[in-house]
Structure 1
Amino acid sequence: MTLDRDEIDNLQPLGDLAQIESLALMNYVSPETDWSCLTELKHLKKLHLGYTGLDTEAIKRLKETLPECEVIEH
């Protein structure tokens, strides 16, 4: 699944996609966004991040939160 073009400030609806294996966020994500819902995606193997605006520390925390998921920065 790819989310592109729109600014994202709420990732909670993604928590309902329990079987998703790959997610691409190719847009700006507000720094206040809660990423915890991604831990509900037990089958997520790849998370592609492009143009998100996340700083190095935020990406590091995200990788720690999702240790079984390959986080790919574009």
Structure 2
Amino acid sequence: MYSIFKTYLTRPIATIATALFLYFLLAVFLASLVAEPDDKVLSSEEALWGDVLTVVVILISLTFAPLLTGIAKK
């Protein structure tokens, strides 16, 4: 786990790529909160699962971003 954070400190491109990706996911998450669907109104349980899934994707991308960008140390 330490090597992942060390990658963020020593490789600024990984940090920038991760930040941009997370900002994109945050924008999608916030847009989903304020969006008004035209055809279908989601139940509160469906909306909750969508929010939980978004948070899980953000956490996974934050953890594995150096590996996904292909510049992590092996």
When the two structures are superposed, what TM-score results if normalisation uses the length of structure 2? 0.29
Higher strand proportion = 1
When the two structures are superposed, what TM-score results if normalisation uses the length of structure 1? 0.29
Higher helix proportion = 2
